[in-house]
Amino acid sequence: MSEQVKEEIKFLEGPQSRWKEFKFSINVLFEFIKGFRALHFVGPCVTIFGSARFKDGHPYYEAAEELSGKIAQLGFTIMTGGGPGIMEAANKGAKAVGGRSVGCNIVLPIEQHPNPYLDKWVNIRYFFIRKTLLIKYSYAFVVMPGGFGTLDEYFEALTLIQTRKISEFPIVIFDTAFHKDLIEHIEFLKTRATISVTDTQLFLVTDSIDEAVAYIQKNSVVKFGLTTEKPHKPFRWLFER
C-alpha cells in the first residue's frame, strides 16, 4: 500500500492531529492548483463519463468514439477521466476529427495510465478533486455505460444542477437498455416525492448519437451563448502553456 493511500485512509478515519490535517489541506490545495494550471486553457469542455473496462471494438466503446467525435466537431474540447475504456474511446473520437482532447487521470494503487489520445492531461491523487475539475470546465455531460465511478460522477453533476450550485448544463444518458433499471429507480424516487416531478427534465435518455449532439448544441451552445474561442492566454512568466 502506497504512502498516499495510507495518508488518505488515516485522514478519513476521523480527527487527526492539527498538524496532520493542516498538511493534508496543503496537499489538497496544491492538487487543485496543479489541476487549474493544467486545464485553464483547454477551452469549453464536454465531459464523457463511462467504464474503463470496455475494450476497442465493443459496441459501447464504438458509440463513445463516434459520439465524442461529433461533439468535438461542435467546437468543444472532449474531457474524460483520462484512462482506458470509454474514456479512451471518447478521447480517440475527438482526436480522429481534429478536436481537442484532455484528461483528468486518477492516481490509483493499481496504476491507471493516461490513454494515448490525450493532448493534455493532469494526474490527480484525490477523487473529489478530480470530480471537481471534470465538472468545473464542462458545459455538458455524457453518461455512457459504467460502474460505481460513472454513477458517482453522474449523480455529482446532477445534484449540483438540481441544487443550482452550477448552471443547468445538459446531461445525456446514453443507451436506454443499459440504464433501464437506473431510470426506473429515478422514476420511483419521483413517486415517493424524494425528488421533484421536474427533476427528470434535467437529463436526456437516448440511443441516438444525433439526438444527443443536437440536445447538447441546443442546451449548451445556444442556451448559454458559448463560444469555442479560448477566453484566456497563458502567461509565459508563470510557465503556463
DSSP 88-144: HHHHHHHHHTT--EEEEEEP-SSPPPPPTT-SEEEEES-HHHHHHHHHHTEEEEEE-
Residue of 235, 222, 174 whose CA lies nearest to 75: 222
Dump pLDDT digits (tens) for 111-165. 578 999 999 999 999 999 999 999 999 999 999 999 999 999 999 999 999 999 9
DSSP-based three-state secondary structure for 151: helix
Residue at 31 is within a domain: no
Number of domain units in the chain: 1
Residue at 231 is within a domain: no
Task: Provide φ and ψ at 171, rounded to 5°.
Answer: -120, 130
Residue at 15 is within a domain: no
> At 226, is the pLDDT very low, low, confident or very high (cuts 50, 70, 90)?
confident
Unique residue bearing C-alpha cell 459501447: 60
Range of the domain at 97: 42-224
Lowest mean pLDDT among 19-23, 176-180, 194-198: 19-23
Residue at 157 is within a domain: yes
- The CATH code of the domain that includes 189 is 3.40.50.450
Q: What's the helix, strand, coil split of the chain in %, to 5?
A: 45, 15, 40
Dump pLDDT digits (tens) for 189-200. 999 999 999 999
